[in-house]
Chain A
Amino acid sequence: MKSLLNSIKLNKMNIIKALCGFSIAISLSGCVIGRQMAGADFNQEEFSKYREAKISELRYQKAKELETKLNNTSPVKPEIQLSLNKAMLDKIGRQYINSTGWIDNVTSYVIKNMKTELNYGSALMTFSILAYNEKYNVNVDLLMDCIIGFEFKNEELLLQLEPFNITPIAKAGGLLSTTEDLIERMVQKNLGSMSTSYPPFKFPVNIKKEYILQSSKMSVRDKINMDIESLEKKVDYTINVTDISIFEDVVQVGLNLTKVEVR
């Protein structure tokens, strides 16, 4: 999500940059030079196919990594195995639909849709986002496919979104309508390299939990009258995330119980 927001920030920066820096140039000298100056002078079909090829390669690599992992690790199951199906991931994704945010005080966005696709070794997420800049009256409709990667590093679980197949549709009013093509190219190019510019989302690997085993009281009025009371106890335990594997139908998380303390 952080990466996503950063991407939108980048998107906005480029929109603003494009609008401020090149609107004069475009009006004076036409779109081609403006694109070149913005670094956005590329063949969109080449770009699109290049990204598609990259994702095909990445999807294959991730599946290969999964195969290697399955071959190299013992078939012993973790102490606790949590499996989430695609419907669950979609339910999580749906929490974001229609949520709105702000890139700056004049640029808002709304997440219109979010979908998940699971493959062996990788997950794909498709975001549909509408960003709107009030000042310049520019709308950018973004359809962004991202591949999700997980990595364990320094007691943290890193989640990174690698976007591909970015389809921006800019709608600028008035004089700025000539910049629509430029804005789209800028967004496409910069979001394409988002993962190299922004750090991944980090989660702790150790989950500390506590629960209280309630005290109980019972009265026995039988052959012997007695009151019996068990004492309240606090149990602290730590769950360690040891593995995340993505399969075609489920995401499996391996967990081990590393510490149990009773107080």
Chain B
Amino acid sequence: MRKLFYLALLSTLASCGGLELPKVEESKQNIDKFTIQYVELKRQLALKIGNKKQNEDVSVLIKTSVINNMMDKFANSSTNDVKMNFLQTNEIYSESKSTFGISYKNYVSIDNGMMDLNLKKVRMESNDNNKIIGLLELEGKGKVRVSGKYLAVPVSAEPEVIIYLNDQFNFETKTVNGKVYLAPEKKNVMLKTKISIKLLEWSVPFYKEVPLDVAEIIKPLELPMASQSEIYFPMPAKQFGESRLEFIPLGIELFSTSLSSTKDYLKINTNVNFKPKQQ
């Protein structure tokens, strides 16, 4: 009796189920039609787009204008980007004289002085030779305290000092913790220093070019390529709980990174390894 009841119930409900599907033949025709259309379209697209194959895992093409816009903002953000502290420097200029058989020396030394330098320009220019040339311009005006002897008379003054640097250097790429940086190659750029010293009637023409390593002045600049040193992967939660997912940090290691350039673009090719991180 119970079996009959179940059978009756099931028969009634059975009419509600099922899927309306096209016949196999009809679907096969559609598969053929769309496959033929896709193959033809693929041929046309391949002709239009060209070969996009890349051997490296990730390739990033960045307009140099984007980097220069960032650098412009950086340069224009303030006028006191670099602080310069003059320290005691003996006899930056001296001359030996003799008057009436008496020998003496005129000299001037720097005692101290502080001034700010304005980073006027830091930009990059790429060219077709894969060299990325950096341009750096710094300038500043201030005062230094100097002292010395003129005609055996002790003298001191606080003359104006003008600093100017406008030089070129090359950038190279560095990868650190999954990020790509543009870093200046080691090179001496010349800091031109002019001090207009006037002690009594003595005008001292002081002009020196001080070599500075550009890699020490400009620290590596991170390239804006949405890269991370680690990425949080949404993974299935290992323990049963309310959340079905947990986010696992994976370190990103870039390797075999290369940089090339055209007139308007920088191209970075790199490969990626994911590394589990200690939690």
Task: List A residues at the B interface (Cβ < 8 Å).
Answer: 1-2, 5, 9, 24-25, 28-29, 33-43, 45-47, 49-50, 52-53, 56-57, 59-60, 63-64, 66-67, 70, 77, 79-85, 87-88, 91-92, 95-96, 99-102, 104-105, 109, 111, 119-120, 189, 207, 209, 211, 213-216, 218, 220, 222-231, 233, 235, 237, 239, 247-250, 252, 255, 257, 260-263
Say yes or no: A28 contacts B42, CB within 8 Å: no
Return A86 CB to nearest CB of chain B, in Å. Answer: 10
A2–B247 Cα distance when bound, in Å, is 12
Partner of A247, one of B49, B87, B235: B49
Return B216 CB to nearest CB of chain A, in Å. Answer: 4
> How many A-B contacts at CB < 8 Å in the complex?
282
Say yes or no: A84 contacts B34, CB within 8 Å: no
What would be 12 A-B contacts, judged by CB atoms less than 8 Å apart?
A: A9-B244, A57-B34, A59-B38, A80-B62, A104-B240, A105-B240, A209-B224, A223-B210, A224-B89, A230-B81, A257-B66, A262-B74
Say yes or no: A88 contacts B58, CB within 8 Å: yes
A187–B17 Cα distance when bound, in Å, is 15
Task: List B residues at the A interface (Cβ < 8 Å).
Answer: 3, 6-7, 10-11, 13-19, 21-24, 27-28, 30-31, 33-35, 37-38, 41-42, 44-46, 48-49, 51-63, 65-66, 69-70, 73-74, 77-78, 80-89, 92, 110, 193, 208, 210-213, 216-219, 221-222, 224-226, 233-241, 244-245, 250, 265, 272-274
Return B92 CB to nearest CB of chain A, in Å. Answer: 6
Considering the complex, give the chain A residue whose CB is closest to the CB of B234. Answer: A1
With A37-B13, A231-B81 known as contacts, the answer to whether A213 contacts B221 (CB < 8 A) is yes
A41–B21 Cα distance when bound, in Å, is 11
B22, B48, B58: which has the most chain A beta carbons within 10 Å? B58
Return A24 CB to nearest CB of chain B, in Å. Answer: 8
Task: Enumerate chain A residues within 8 angstroms of B58, measured Cβ to Cβ.
Answer: 82-85, 88
Partner of A63, one of B7, B45, B65, B78: B45
Partner of B53, one of A1, A82, A249: A249
8 additional A-B residue pairs with CB within 8 Å, beyond A57-B30, A102-B244: A36-B18, A39-B16, A41-B14, A82-B58, A85-B55, A213-B221, A231-B83, A248-B52
Return A140 CB to nearest CB of chain B, in Å. Answer: 16
With A101-B244, A214-B219, A225-B88 known as contacts, the answer to whether A95 contacts B250 (CB < 8 A) is yes
Considering the complex, give the chain B residue whose CB is closest to the CB of A220. Answer: B210
A57–B27 Cα distance when bound, in Å, is 11
A231–B22 Cα distance when bound, in Å, is 71
Say yes or no: A211 contacts B31, CB within 8 Å: no
